[in-house]
Structure 1
Amino acid sequence: MTDKDGKAGDRSSAGNSIAFGLIGILVLLFLISRCGADSPASKSSEADASPEGPEACALVPMEPIKVEVISSAYEANEAAAQKTYGDRCVLIVGIVEEVDLDMSDDPVIRLAGKDLVRPTVRLLDQASEQATFLAKGEETHFLCNEVSEFVGTPTFDGCLVVDPKAASAL
Structure 2
Amino acid sequence: MNRSFGNNLYSTTNSRMSSAPATDWEDLRKQARQLENEIDTKLMSFSKLCSNYVARDHLSNHHGIDSPTTSTSSSFETMSIEVEKLLERLSDINKCMTDAIPTLLGPNTAATHTLQRHHEICQDYRREFERTKANIRNFQTREDLLINNNNNNSDMNS
User: TM-score under structure 1 normalisation?
Assistant: 0.25
Q: Greater strand percent: which structure?
A: 1
Ranked by relative contact order (alpha carbons within 8 Å, sequence separation 6 or more), the top structure is: 2
Q: Who wins on radius of gyration, i.e. which is larger?
A: 2
Q: Greater helix percent: which structure?
A: 2
User: TM-score under structure 2 normalisation?
Assistant: 0.26
